[in-house]
């Protein structure tokens, strides 16, 4: 049976009916990883125990046991989420050899539901980037054109799904890191509402913005994954206690009568390339044909979203990344030849060698925004603009079911094209960052 | 805008080379001038929003929970002595 082109839902049905074994499914994807990973660099680590776990699930299935709602389904995990016993690097030299002694809630929920972790996918270092070019483990390539980036920071997850190295993957999104690579690689990605999915065990970048979500080849498969990772977790007090509905069973293609808002600021002349504009207009036409009503709405302050986002995200990152000090885990400088002068020198040399260029740039920016004399003008002001954006988004959403807009200003760019220009790279995120600031799903 | 990168690097516990101080200095000042537009936004009397959800303080019992063992806890240490973290002398 052809496996690699099946959707997650189809594989689920075939496994449940006993038409195909978990081992055959996992072996097929491991084979595809072996075939393509040297070229694409989508995976940093492959799980050596994946086949064994598949074999055990087959045994359970034969003895009549229920495999769970995701029984035997392979999934790739962004290497930012802790997986017990499987190296978790965050794409950084500072965590190159880190093997977590516990699992993130997302991965333990997936495994409890019967899923098989195939491996850990490449990402921008500490999820800081929009192209997967800042990874310590080398750039990941877009499977549709290997001269181009897959997007980022969940570029490995997006490339792996697009190249059928996995039927589904988990990504994280702090300012667009699920949506932008999903768009660049032509797959489906969902950034859940802030608080929907537990952040426990996910290497923190910016705690008030980070959310994990599914990346798959179609919408229904994303619903299936989200279903089993969402919900209250006592390990993360920012998770909402709202009930998790059965999205998978109740998915409904009938959108007739729904009202979709179009942010007029997003559609201004020159806001996006002609190709992207054409794709968005095509989508609008398709939806109109299905009976959707459109309405122009406005978030006047949206032009400040990228600046607000980067000030807040870097401030939180500078605080979150303070834990990497070379004492209890992670990389430590070699002090044998030149001993540390003092404790500050011990930390500063370890961190200077362990972090990459972009991570250091963001730590510096965040430290500056939080520093005495600049806090009010930058971090505090950004939090006030964030409140204003939330107010304006709530007003724009009144009378609309959802808002629709582009994800990126243009299609996937070439590797190396923007990496030396941080401002241009940050401005890539113009359509995605606002949703993280206001906590909305996207 | 001129940024004292050396001072910021010291606050951030990062040792930078002279070249990095120069490059980051130029980049940070151009990035921050670009971000400066937010300082002009009229935010009225809105309070700073630090997180998207309303979080109430939650209390839990201070229970002892058994977790793995000492070997596992120190397994990732760059250097150790038995079950203790080991650091070089720094004074």
What is the rounded average pLDDT of the residues B56-78? 90
Please say if A34 is a catalytic residue.
Answer: no
Q: What is the pLDDT of residue B91?
A: 67
| B74 → chain A, closest CA residue | A328
- Least CB–CB distance from B72: residue in A101, A208, A426: A101
- Alpha-carbon distance A422 to A136, whole Å? 18
- Alpha-carbon distance A231 to A239, whole Å? 7
Q: What digits encode the pLDDT tens for the residues B6-29?
A: 999 999 999 999 999 999 999 999
Question: Within 10 Å of residue B5's Cβ, how many Cβ atoms?
Answer: 23
Q: What digits encode the pLDDT tens for the residues A63-97?
A: 999 999 999 999 999 999 999 999 999 999 999 99
A364–B5: do the CB atoms touch at under 8 Å? yes
Quick one: tokens of A17?
A: 């009916």
Q: What is the pLDDT of residue A359?
A: 98
Residues of chain A with pLDDT under 70: none
Please say if A78 is a catalytic residue.
Answer: yes
Query: Which residues from B are below 8 Å from A173, CB to CB?
Result: none
Catalytic residue among A78, A93, A120, A141: A78
H or E stretch covering A297: strand A293-297
Of B51 and B68, which is predicted with more confidence? B51
Q: Is the pLDDT of residue B80 over 70?
A: yes
Longest dimension (CA), chain B: 58
Q: In sequence order, what DSSP letters do the residues of A15-68 get, joined into one string?
A: HHTTSS-HHHHHHHHHHHHHHHHHHH--EEEE-TTHHHHHHHHHHHHHTT----
Pairing mode, if any, of strands A211-216 and A168-173? antiparallel
Q: What digits encode the pLDDT tens for the residues A137-183?
A: 999 999 999 999 999 999 999 999 999 999 999 999 999 999 999 99
Q: Mind telling me how many Å the CA of B64 is from chain A's nearest CA? A: 15
Q: What is the pLDDT of residue B67?
A: 87
| B33 → chain A, closest CA residue | A307
| A342 → chain B, closest CA residue | B90
B46–A387: do the CB atoms touch at under 8 Å? yes
């Amino acid at each position: 049976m052809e496996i690699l082109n099946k959707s997650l839902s189809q594989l689920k049905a075939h496994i449940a009916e006993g038409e195909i074994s978990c081992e055959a499914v996992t072996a097929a994807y491991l084979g595809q990883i072996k075939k393509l990973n040297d070229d694409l660099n989508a995976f940093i680590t492959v799980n050596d125990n994946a086949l064994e776990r598949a074999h055990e699930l087959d045994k359970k299935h034969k003895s009549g046991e229920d495999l769970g709602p995701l029984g035997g389904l392979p999934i790739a995990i962004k290497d930012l989420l802790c997986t017990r016993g499987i190296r978790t690097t965050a794409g950084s030299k500072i965590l190159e050899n880190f093997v977590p002694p516990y699992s993130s809630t997302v991965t333990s929920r997936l495994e409890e539901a019967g899923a098989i972790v195939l491996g850990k996918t490449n990402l921008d270092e500490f999820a800081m980037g929009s192209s997967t070019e800042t990874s310590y483990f080398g750039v990941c390539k877009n499977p549709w054109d290997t001269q181009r980036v897959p997007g980022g920071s969940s570029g490995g997850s997006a490339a792996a799904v697009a190249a059928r190295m996995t039927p589904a993957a988990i990504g994280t999104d702090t300012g667009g890191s699920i949506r932008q690579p999903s768009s660049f690689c032509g797959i489906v990605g969902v950034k859940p509402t802030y608080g929907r999915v537990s952040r426990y065990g996910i290497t923190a970048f910016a705690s008030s913005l980070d959310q994990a979500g599914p990346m798959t080849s179609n919408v229904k498969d994303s619903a299936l994954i989200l279903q089993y990772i969402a919900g209250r977790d006592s390990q993360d007090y920012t998770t909402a206690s709202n009930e998790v509905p059965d999205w998978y069973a109740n998915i409904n293609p009938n959108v007739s009568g729904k009202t979709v808002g179009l942010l007029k600021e997003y559609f201004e002349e020159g806001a996006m390339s002609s190709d992207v504009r054409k794709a968005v207009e095509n989508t609008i036409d398709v939806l109109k044909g299905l009976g959707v009503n459109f309405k122009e709405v406005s978030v006047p302050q949206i032009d400040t979203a990228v600046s607000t986002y980067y000030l807040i995200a870097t401030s939180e990152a500078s605080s979150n990344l303070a834990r990497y000090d070379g004492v209890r885990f992670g990389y430590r400088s070699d002090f044998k030849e030149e001993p540390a002068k003092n404790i500050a020198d011990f930390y500063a040399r370890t961190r200077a060698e362990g972090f990459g260029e972009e991570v250091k740039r963001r730590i510096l920016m965040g430290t500056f925004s939080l520093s005495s004399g600049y806090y009010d003008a930058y971090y505090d002001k950004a939090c006030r603009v964030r409140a204003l954006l939330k107010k304006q988004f709530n007003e724009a959403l009144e009378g609309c079911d959802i808002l629709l807009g582009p994800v990126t200003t243009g299609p996937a760019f070439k590797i190396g094209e923007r990496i030396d220009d941080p401002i241009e790279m940050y401005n890539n995120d113009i359509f995605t960052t606002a949703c993280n600031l206001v906590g909305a799903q996207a | 805008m001129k940024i004292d990168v050396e001072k910021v690097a010291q606050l951030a516990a990062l040792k930078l080379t002279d070249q990095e101080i120069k490059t980051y200095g130029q980049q940070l000042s151009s990035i921050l001038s670009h971000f400066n537009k937010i300082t002009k936004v009229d935010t009225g009397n809105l309070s700073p929003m630090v997180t998207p959800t309303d979080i109430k303080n939650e209390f839990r019992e201070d229970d002892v929970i058994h977790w793995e063992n000492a070997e596992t806890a120190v397994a990732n240490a760059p250097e150790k002595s038995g079950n203790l973290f080991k650091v070089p002398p720094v004074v």
